[in-house]
Amino acid sequence: MLSLARIAGGIGGGVVLLSIIPLCNQVAPMLSKALSLDSRNGERWAYLIVAAGFAIVATALFQICGFKIKERVVSAEKKPTLKENFKIMLGNKPFKQILLSGILGSPKMLIMLAAMPLIQYYFAAKDSVLSLVYMIVLGGGVFVGQFAGMAVAPYLTKKISKKKIYNYGHLASIIPFVLIFVIYLAAPRTLATNYGLLALLTILFLFNGFCNGVIMVMQSAMIADCIDYEEHKSGTRPDGVFFAGQTFLAKLTSGIATLIASAAYSVVGFSDDAIAKLNDYIANMGPADPLPREMAQYDKFMMILFFIVSIPPAIGCLLSVIPTWKYALDDDRHKEILLELNERRRAKETEAAQAETEPAAIAEEAKSEA
């Protein structure tokens, strides 16, 4: 069920990622013309409007999830305070290891952050049709691989421990990430039209997407195990706290990845002014003019786009396994915990049933004596 939920979420994210660039490219010129904006501000407002539209639709659709929801575990009567929640999270060693692994793996998020600029500026030069084509070819590879990884993940756990799948999934991603940059260096100005290298690039993105899909499911499953671990240890079942921690982790890693990307852009001097000049060149580019990827003055920028989606994510994959290499909650121990928890729950149910029947039995006995 967890894998299916991840796949459904991934499909929604894929639809947004595939369509947002072409939509922005269509809306931006209309806004620039209607509001007398330059190309840069037209793009900014177009992205804001399109993103807000997606957010409104997504928020409305998300409300459907609330219908006919049934709680499977009875909530505790006493709700822990914010301070107590942090204490629970920091006191749970396996959960702490997962959080640290996610933070160290923040550079992996760069592949999603830099995917749109990479396709916009290197492959498509802001052509709406080409943007969609390359997004389907490259981005589609990532998402198809990711869905496949999510679907396969539950079957892998029948043969291999979650810890090993999580760690080796990260390690398996390192070489393909590095090869993405190597392929770019092999044909820095002609990669977009070299169909052999482009096919190889798609395969690498697909493989990395597969590993990422497996890792995502493993992370959620391992966090669910941490909840059982905490219930066994303290009697508290912090489902909401731990999965909120996972959401916070996703936001934090995105923020860290954004800082890394900004630093990388500044190293090659690609500031707002440089972006504005490139946008103006693309907007006024004629049929006979060279594409930005073919021009020496933009070599550094094109290089940094490929660098961002390859080398830092490879480093992030390596760093991710450091906290979880000696993970504190293996599958065998988790099975023992589940057995003990089930015994406790059955004992509580028996006690509750006895508590309900005892008064009736006493009353019946008193009645018969009278």
50-93 pLDDT per residue, tens: 989 988 988 888 888 777 776 665 555 667 777 877 888 888 99
Q: Does 162 have pLDDT greater than 70?
A: yes
Under a CB-based contact definition with an 8 Å cutoff, are residues 119 and 131 in contact?
yes
Q: Can you give the residue ranges of every domain in the chain?
A: 81-353
Q: Where are the alpha helices (DSSP H) in the chain?
A: 2-35, 39-62, 82-91, 93-104, 110-113, 115-117, 128-134, 140-156, 162-186, 195-234, 239-267, 272-283, 299-308, 311-324, 331-369
Evaluate if pTM is beyond 0.85.
no
pLDDT at 41: 81
- C-alpha–C-alpha distance, residues 327 and 315, integer Å: 20
pLDDT at 166: 96
Mind listing the pLDDT tens digit for each residue in 248-298?
Answer: 888 899 899 999 999 999 999 887 788 888 888 887 888 888 999 999 999
- Residue 122: CB atoms within 10 Å: 23
Mind listing the pLDDT tens digit for each residue in 110-146?
Answer: 988 888 889 888 998 877 788 878 888 888 888 889 8
pLDDT at 2: 58
Mind listing the pLDDT tens digit for each residue in 288-332?
Answer: 889 999 999 999 999 999 999 999 999 999 999 999 999 999 999
pLDDT at 74: 58
Q: What length is written for the chain?
A: 370
Kindly give the interhelix angle for 299-308 and 311-324, rounded to the nearest 10 degrees: 20
pLDDT at 210: 95
Which residue has 């080398």 as its token pair? Answer: 311
- C-alpha–C-alpha distance, residues 211 and 156, integer Å: 12
Least confident of 52-66, 169-183, 211-225, 301-315: 52-66
Q: Does 3 have pLDDT greater than 60?
A: no
Nearest C-alpha neighbor of 235 from the set 341, 328, 333, 336: 341
Q: Does domain 81-353 have CATH number 3.40.50.300?
A: no
Residue 177's pLDDT band, with cuts at 50, 70 and 90, is very high
- C-alpha–C-alpha distance, residues 32 and 49, integer Å: 13
| Mean residue pLDDT across the chain | 86
- C-alpha–C-alpha distance, residues 238 and 89, integer Å: 9
